[in-house]
Amino acid sequence: MSKNILSRRQFIKKAVAVSSVFAVPHIIPASALGRGGAVAPSERILLGGIGLGGRGTSDLKWMIGEADVQFVAICDVRKNRREEIKRIVDVKNGNTDCAMYGDIRQFLAERSDVDAVLIATGDRWHALASVMAMQAGKDVYCEKPSCFTMAQGQMVVDSARKHGRVYQTGTQRLSEPNHVFAIEMARSGRLGKVHTAYADIRYRGGARVDFLPAEPEPSKDELNWEAWLGPCPWRPYNGGYLGGGWYHFYDFATDVAMWGAHTIAQAMAGIDVPHESPIDFEYTTADGNMIASFANGVKMVLVRGGDGWNGNAYWHGACGERFDGSEGWAAAADGYSKPDVSSPALLAEYRKVIGEYTARTQRPMNHVRDFLDCVKSRRLTVANPDVMNHSMRISLACDICGQLKRNLRFDPIKAEFIGDPEANRLRSRAMRESWCV
């Protein structure tokens, strides 16, 4: 009897306790609902990073400044870089949650939660890391030059299509007002019929074909040298390659494509040239420039002259483009307060031209924001794989012209040089078997 009474009392006590839980309203943080300026978890983009050195760190700070980005993991073959990125991210997030990985394969295999990756490795890794990430279901923002060879550029295009991934290459001037103005002045016909475009291709000097002598190799945890090399030919470790030293070696770098990846994309955006017609490349002119001539008569002058940062006869500043038409010209480069134009009257339409562009394209004047918006909408980015591939082919063709020191003719449909087997062999490079995709 007493046992039954005790059991009933225990039951009633538990029932009251349970009912009280449901009677008291739960307090849900406003951040979880997306209130107070916060972004709800369902709207956040989980971001990871691969190879974030100097330029990559700048991109990272740009991206984590966006309210809907949550950076969760860094993958880098160098321990000091991993730790530095983790420090930046943890300070920003106010926790110690940023995970670190030294192997890209482990990172991509384990982090199924990551939506998108920022890739800012050296040139040799850009296309390979992009393809591996897209195969793993990640959207990709990749620094330029976005491919090492023409074959790799097409590999990125094919991967994005096959896996349905959003891809943006880091040619950010396609999203900057002054450059957009110059491009739109040419594209919209306000300069009349455009007959010549100019693009800055000042050399970085990635032409050394020797390699540095061997030095004692760091521990694998400090630097995974095998992974640093990736698809490139095996070379002995030397600290001189690190911190940008690799820029100057053909094994690890492109040459014209370093700056041409930016400026040729900018020039291509402003001129109406057929992508299916042959392009003639003149290796060098009297003033040291190169010329790409399109079938419709438009010429692109690839400018080597000037001191780079301060400009030349066509613009003052770096990374410039210019368009010459029958009714005038327009040019832009870094550091401009407003673009250069042949007549002050052309600048009177500055706001109108930018407004028409944003209304037509529905794109922000922010390259990272364009990528993030496209991750959510699944539309093509402004610097999508096809834009990247077309401009990189011209950049890489210039590299090949420089190597062979002769004029070439290129067929964009077949993606091959016409009547030049030696040039065609340079459209790709051998990749070490362990890093083929």
Rounded alpha-carbon distances, angstroms, from residue 355 to 192, 281, 358, 432 = 20, 36, 5, 48
> Cα 254 to the chain's mean position, in Å?
15
- pTM tops 0.75, yes or no: yes
pLDDT of residue 286: 80
Span 173-204+254-363+385-435 CATH architecture: 2-Layer Sandwich (3.30)
How would you classify the pairing of strands 328-332 and 340-341? antiparallel
Would you say the C-alpha torsion 401, 404, 409, 415 has a positive or negative sign?
negative
What is the maximum alpha-carbon separation in the chain? 112
Spatial distance between the Cα atoms of 115 and 42, rounded to a whole number of angstroms: 12
Instruction: Tell the burial category of 50 from Cβ atoms under 10 Å away from its Cβ (0-12, 13-18, 19+).
Output: buried
Contacts of 94 (CB under 8 A, 6+ apart): none
Could you list the beta-strand ranges (E) of 298-371. Answer: 299-303, 321-325, 328-332, 340-341
pLDDT of residue 306: 65
Cα separation, 239 vs 237, whole angstroms: 7
pLDDT at 231: 95
**DSSP state, residue 274:** -
Helices vs strands, H then E, count in the chain: 15, 15
Nearest C-alpha neighbor of 181 from the set 349, 12, 36: 349
Integer Cα distance of 57 and 68 in angstroms: 18
pLDDT of 256:
85
Residues 6+ apart with CB under 8 A from 310: 316, 317, 318
What is the Cα–Cα distance from 11 to 26, expressed in whole angstroms? Answer: 24
| DSSP-assigned letters across all residues of 58-77 | HHHHHHHTSTTEEEEEEE-S
Return d(Cα 335, Cα 316) in angstroms, integer. Answer: 9
Q: What does the alpha-carbon distance between residue 181 and residue 345 come to, in Å, rounded to a whole number?
A: 14
pLDDT value of residue 186: 98
Q: Is 81 helix (H, G, I), strand (E, B) or coil?
A: helix
CB 145 within 8 A of CB 390: no
Return the CATH fold of 42-172. Answer: Rossmann fold (3.40.50)
Query: Which pairing describes strands 167-169 and 139-142: parallel, antiparallel, or unpaired?
Result: parallel
Domain with CATH 3.30.360 in the chain: 173-204+254-363+385-435
Rounded Cα gap, residues 276 and 145, in angstroms: 23
The H or E element that residue 14 is part of is helix 2-23
Domain(s) labelled CATH 3.40.50.720 in the chain stretch across 42-172
DSSP character at residue 318: S
| Under-70 pLDDT residues of the chain | 1-38, 203-206, 305-309
CA distance 143 to 126: 7
Residue among 129, 293, 303, 91 nearest 200 (CA): 303
